[in-house]
Structure 1
Amino acid sequence: MDAIEMYISELMEKSTPDRPVWNIEKLLQGKKSGWNYIDGCMIKAILEMYAITKNPKYLEFADGFIDHRVREDGTIDGYDVEEKNIDNVNAGKTLFELYDLTGKEKYRKAIDLVYSQIERMPRTKEGNFWHKNIYPNQVWLDGLYMCQPFYMEYETRFNNKKNCGDIYRQFLNVKTHMKDTETGLYYHAYDSERKMFWCDKVTGLSQNFWLRALGWYSMALLDTMDKADPSDAEELKQMKEEFLDLIDAMLKYQDESGMWYQIVNLGGMDGNYLETSGSAIFSYAILKGVRLGYLPESYAQFGKKAFEGICNKYLDLEKGNMSLGGICLVAGLGGKDRRNGTYDYYMSEPVVKDDAKGVGPFLLAYTEMKRTGWEFYS
C-alpha cells in the first residue's frame, strides 16, 4: 500500500458515520454529521477506490457509512426533502453504486426519495433549480455538480429519459447567463431576479471566478455526460464543447506549480493562494476527460502536473501526522453573514486540512492517476 492509501485508511479508521474526521464544518460546530454533500463527496471517492483496487475494505466502509443513515423504508436520517437544498442531492449518487453492489432494496427506495426532492425544487424563470429554498432565484455553479449527475443517472436508468431535455437546458442556461465571454470562465453565482446585494444589477452575476465553483462545474459537465445516453448525440456534443472550452480557459491560469489560485484569474494579488480542492478537481476532471475521450491525450500532462503539485505543496505523509492542507473550508454568497462575493471575502474564509471538499477530489484524482499506471513514491 502506498503512502496516499495509508493516509486515506487513517482517515477512515478515525471516522464513524456520525463523526467523520473529514467533515470539518460539523466538527467545528460540535454537531453530529447528517446527510450532506461533504460526506457524499468522500464516500463517492471511497467507492471509486473500491472500483479500481477491488479491496473490500473500501466497499465495507462506504456501505456501512450509508447504511447507517438509510432506514429500511428508504427514509434517510438527517435528510429532509422539504428543505429543498440542492447540495443534499449529492450524497444520493452513492446510492446507485451501493444498490448495484449490495442489492439492498432500501437503497433503491432512498434513490426515489432523493429524486422526489428534484421534482419539488423551485426554479428560476429560465428553468434552473434554485440553489436552496433559502436562496431564491439563485443558481450557483456548485449546484450543477450536486444535482445533475444524479438527475441524469435516474433518468437514464429508471425514468425512460423523460426529463433529459430539462438537464441539457439547465446547462445551456448556465452557459448563456454565467459564462464570461472574455476569459471563458464562469462566475460563481447568478441571481435571475437581480435583487441580491452581491450581484451586478444588470447581469445578475456575482463578482469573481472562484476556483472550487469552477471545478464543481467541470465535474458537473463531465459526470453528467458520463451518465447520459450516448444516443443524445447533439446535446452531448454541445456539452463536450463546453467542457473542452472550460478546460482550455483554465489552462491559461495554471500556475507553474501545477495548481490554481483561489481566485483563478488574479494569481498575483496580495493574499491569493494556491488552493487544493479546486486544483484536485481539475486534476480529476482533466485526467478523466482524457480517459473518456472528451479531451485530447496531450492534456493528461496538465492533470498529472496538478496532482503532483498538490502532493509537493500540501501533502504531509509523516507517519502519525499525515494530512492534506490548503483547502478552502467554505465559500458562498448571501446568507445570514451577508457574504458579498468580493475578492477580500474569498480570502477571508478559513483554510484547513483534511476536509472532504479537498480530500474527496484528491482521492478521485488519485484513482485517475492510478489508471494511468502512475505509482506514488514518498
Structure 2
Amino acid sequence: MSLLAVALCLFLASCKNKKENTETAAQPETEKVVPEDLKWSERMMLSEIERFPEPTKLDFATRARWTYTPGLVLSACSRVYEKTNNQKYYDYIYDYANTLIDSTGTIDTYKLENQNLDMIKSGDVLLYLYPKTKEERFLIAMQTLDKQLESQPTTSDGGYWHKKIYPFQMWLDGLYMAEPFHTRYAKDYIEDEAKKQEIFDHAVLQFDLIQKHSRDEESGLLYHGWDESKEQRWANKETGNSQHFWSRGMGWYGMAMVDVLDFLPEDHPGRERIITYLNLYAEAVTKVQDESGLWWQVLDQGDREGNYLEATGTSMFTYTFAKGVRKGYLDGKYLNVANKAYQALLDNLITVEENGVVNLNQCCAVAGLGGNPYRDGSYEYYIGEKIRSNDPKGTGPFIMASLELDK
C-alpha cells in the first residue's frame, strides 16, 4: 500500500472516531424528574405527581371524582409537606379539594344517599386544609360527611353497613374509611360534649364489633367481610363471615387502629381495648409473614398455587407496625418486623425508571364482595383480580411507612 493510501485510511478512521465520539457525547443522560438523593417518601410522592398531575385523577381515573383513594395518597402527601415544607405538595392537596368542592360546599360526584363509607376517607383532606385556609366551603363539606355517618344504616348491634347497596354487611375496609375522620372531626369541631362522647363511643363500637364478628379465634386473623343476614352467597351460613383472610383487608384494619388512636381521648375507656386488639393483630399478622419479609395476597395460604406476594397489604402492615411501635402501642420487636418488610419491598417490589420515577409493583388493583358482577370471596376470586403497578392503595401506605421508618 502506498504512503498516500495509508495516510488516507488513517484520515478516514480519525474522522469516523471523531464522529462516533461526537455522537456519544451528544446523547444526554435522561433527565431525572425525581431526584434519587431524596428519601423514599418524597421520591414516591413526586412519582405520583408525575403520574397523575391532576390529583383528582389519582387511581387512574378518567374524570375527576370524590373517592377514597385520592384521600389516602393526599393524607400521605400532607405528611410529606409537613416534613419538607415544599409548596408543591401543599398545592397538590389543595387542588383536589378546590376542584371538587364548589363555593356552597357541595362535593361534586358525591351522593350522601348512597351511604357509602368509602366516600368519607377524602374528608381527611378537608380536616387538613380547613384550619390552614378557613374556607367555609371546606367546613360545610366536612359537615356533610358527618351527616352521612349520623344517618349511616347499621346492623342490629350498631355496626355501620359498608354501603347502602351492601345491607347488613361490615367490611374491614370500612373502619379505615370512616373512623379516623369521624374521631378527628368530633375532637376538633363538635362543641357539645355529650355529642362528642357519643361519636367516640360509636367509633370504638365499630372495632368491638369487628373483633366480635370477624376475628378467627384459631389464627387471630380477621375475615374480610361479615354479613349479619347470612344471605350473601359469600357468607358462611353459620357465622356470616366471608371465606378468606385478605391481605389488604387486614391492612386497612391495622391502619384504622393506629390512626384512630391519634384522636381518641387518653381517658376514653375504649382506648385500651383498641390497643389490645392491635397487639393481638400484630401477633397474628407476624405469624403469616413470608420469610422474604412480604405478605401474601391470601394471608395464610402462601404455599397454594396462584397466590402471590402483594404490595399494598405489605405496605399497610409496615406502616401499622412502625407507627404502633413509635407511639408505644406495640412492643419494640415489631419494629424489626416493619424493617424487614420495608427492605423486602425495596428489594423485590420497587423499581426505578431511568428518569427517577419510582414504581411499586404487584399491587392487587381491587377486591370486594358481592355486587355485580358477583364477587364470591373465593380463593380463586382473590388471586384472580387484576394485578398492577402503582395502585394508590399501595403508594399511599408506602409513603407513610417510609416516613415512619425515616428511610
| Fold conserved between structures, TM > 0.5 | yes
Alignment of 1:187-202 (within 5 A): 187-202=223-238
Counterpart AA for 1:252: K
**Could you tell me how far apart the structure 2 residues matched to 1:176 and 1:19 are?**
37
Q: Which residue of 1 aligns with 2:91?
A: 60
C-alpha change, 1:305 and 1:122, in structure 2 (3 Å) is: same
Counterpart AA for 2:52: S
Counterpart AA for 1:298: K
Shift in Å, 1:11: 2.3
Q: Does the Cα contact within 8 Å between 2:56 and 2:96 map onto a contact in 1?
A: no
Q: Is 2:133 aligned against 1:102?
A: yes
Q: Is 2:52 aligned against 1:15?
A: yes
Residue by residue over 1:125-156, the C-alpha shift from the partner in whole angstroms, topping out at 9 and shown as x without a partner, is: 12111100111110000011100111111222
**Could you tell me how far apart the structure 1 residues matched to 2:64 and 2:59 are?**
8
Q: Which residue of 1 aligns with 2:397?
A: 361
Alignment of 1:126-275 (within 5 A): 126-159=157-190, 160=193, 161-163=196-198, 164-232=200-268, 234-275=269-310
Counterpart AA for 2:122: A
**Could you tell me how far apart the structure 2 residues matched to 1:364 and 1:225 are?**
16
- 1:278 aligns with one of 306, 313, 323: 313
Q: Does the Cα contact within 8 Å between 1:74 and 1:106 map onto a contact in 2?
A: yes
Q: Which residue of 1 aligns with 2:18?
A: none
Shift in Å, 1:198: 0.7
Bigger mean CA offset, 49-58 vs 242-251: 49-58
**Could you tell me how far apart the structure 2 residues matched to 1:10 and 1:174 are?**
36
Q: How many residues align?
A: 364
Shift in Å, 1:42: 0.9
Q: Does the Cα contact within 8 Å between 2:44 and 2:395 map onto a contact in 1?
A: no
Q: Which residue of 2 aligns with 1:43?
A: 74
- 1:308 aligns with one of 322, 343, 350: 343
Shift in Å, 1:52: 2.1
Q: Which residue of 2 aligns with 1:73?
A: 104
Could you say what secondary structure the match of 2:367 adopts? coil
Q: Does the Cα contact within 8 Å between 1:211 and 1:262 map onto a contact in 2?
A: yes
Q: Does the Cα contact within 8 Å between 1:3 and 1:317 map onto a contact in 2?
A: no
- 1:33 aligns with one of 47, 55, 64: 64
**Could you tell me how far apart the structure 2 residues matched to 1:18 and 1:329 are?**
18
Q: Does the Cα contact within 8 Å between 2:180 and 2:259 map onto a contact in 1?
A: yes
TM-score (norm 2): 0.86
Q: Which residue of 2 aligns with 1:349?
A: 385
Counterpart AA for 1:345: Y
**Could you tell me how far apart the structure 2 residues matched to 1:83 and 1:227 are?**
27
Counterpart AA for 1:192: E
**Could you tell me how far apart the structure 1 residues matched to 2:39 and 2:222 are?**
36
Residue by residue over 1:225-274, the C-alpha shift from the partner in whole angstroms, topping out at 9 and shown as x without a partner, is: 11111121x31111100001101110011112211000111111111111
Shift in Å, 1:13: 3.2
Residue by residue over 1:177-198, the C-alpha shift from the partner in whole angstroms, topping out at 9 and shown as x without a partner, is: 1100000010000000111111
Q: Does the Cα contact within 8 Å between 1:16 and 1:65 map onto a contact in 2?
A: no
**Could you tell me how far apart the structure 2 residues matched to 1:61 and 1:186 are?**
35
- 1:297 aligns with one of 313, 332, 349: 332
Residue by residue over 1:40-61, the C-alpha shift from the partner in whole angstroms, topping out at 9 and shown as x without a partner, is: 1111111111122222221121
**Could you tell me how far apart the structure 2 residues matched to 1:208 and 1:14 are?**
33
Residue by residue over 1:68-94, the C-alpha shift from the partner in whole angstroms, topping out at 9 and shown as x without a partner, is: 111122111111111111100011012
Q: Does the Cα contact within 8 Å between 1:18 and 1:32 map onto a contact in 2?
A: no
Counterpart AA for 2:49: M
**Could you tell me how far apart the structure 1 residues matched to 2:197 and 2:125 are?**
22
For structure 2, the residue ranges without an aligned partner over 5 or more in a row are 1-36
**Could you tell me how far apart the structure 2 residues matched to 1:137 and 1:156 are?**
28
Could you say what secondary structure the match of 1:226 adopts? coil
Q: Which residue of 2 aligns with 1:93?
A: 124
Give % identity: 35
The root-mean-square deviation of aligned C-alpha atoms, in Å, is 1.5
